[in-house]
Amino acid sequence: MIDAIVEARGAAELMLEKAKAVLRLQVAGSDLDAHQHAAHGVAWLAAYVETLKALATYASTLSSKGKLGEMEQLLIKIAAGEYLNQIAGGIPMNQTEFFRVGSLGLAQADLAPIMSCALFKAGNTPENRARLVDLMQQNDGELTFGDCGLDDTLTEMRSTMQRFAAAKVAPQAHRWHLDNAYVPVEIIQELSALGVLALTLPEEHRGLGLPK
């Protein structure tokens, strides 16, 4: 699993470097506005690469802790496989605009590293999706599906917020919506008492000093 996601990350990074090199040549001495579609597409490609890098880090971190289970592996395989296929076939930047690396002038051969990745064909498969859904159904009621890789403090905070939302917000949210009402001040006060409104404030200002 680790080798497969690292391979996917590497192939995507190589694709990005080729795309950026071509884009630089296109916009050199030119107006970037004339190449908006290409620039927009390369930016999307860069975002996909960052996601694959994050997936690789996630897989490595969980593996080192002995927590890379079947569900986590399926989530990684499906996500990485879909991203690889979109890079090769066209990244949907919105409902009507797709970025295809061929529009930059790159040849089909440039896609070979992407399409030869193990997860390109064996990642987002019907079998993997069906198995993931099966595991999700078996874990119905869990806060999340798969280990998020968070530390114990953040995991407990998430659980606390989930319990608060289930007890105090979910039973009333639809009525608030129908009444076009604000969230009651009592709820805001309880959130404040939990420290939610000061999560990222420095400790010297009575916050928790947590990163975003």
Mean pLDDT calculated for residue range 19-24: 94
Instruction: Look at residue 29 and tell me whether its pLDDT is greater than 80.
Output: no
What is the amino acid identity at position 140? Answer: D
User: How many CB atoms are located within 10 Å of the residue 97 CB?
Assistant: 13
Q: Say how far apart CA 89 and CA 83 lie, in whole Å.
A: 10
* pLDDT reported for residue 205: 86
What pLDDT band is residue 122 in, cutting at 50, 70 and 90? very high
Residue 177 near residue 169 (C-beta atoms within 8 A)? no
**Across the chain, what does the average pLDDT equal?**
92
- Return the pLDDT at 149: 85
Residue 22: predicted pLDDT: 93
Structure tokens that stand for 80 in this block: 């990485």
Here the tokens at position 58 are 């996630």
Q: What is the pLDDT of residue 150?
A: 82
Structure tokens at 208: 């928790």
pLDDT > 80? residue 175: yes
Would you tell me the crossing angle of helices 70-89 and 126-138 to the nearest 10 degrees? 140
Q: Which pLDDT belongs to residue 211? A: 79
Q: What is the pLDDT of residue 147?
A: 87
CA angle 88–91–97, rounded 5-degree value: 135
| Cβ count within 10 A of residue 65 | 10
- Three-state DSSP at 95 gives coil
pLDDT at 125 over 80: yes
pLDDT for res 208: 82
Statement: residue 141 has pLDDT above 80: no
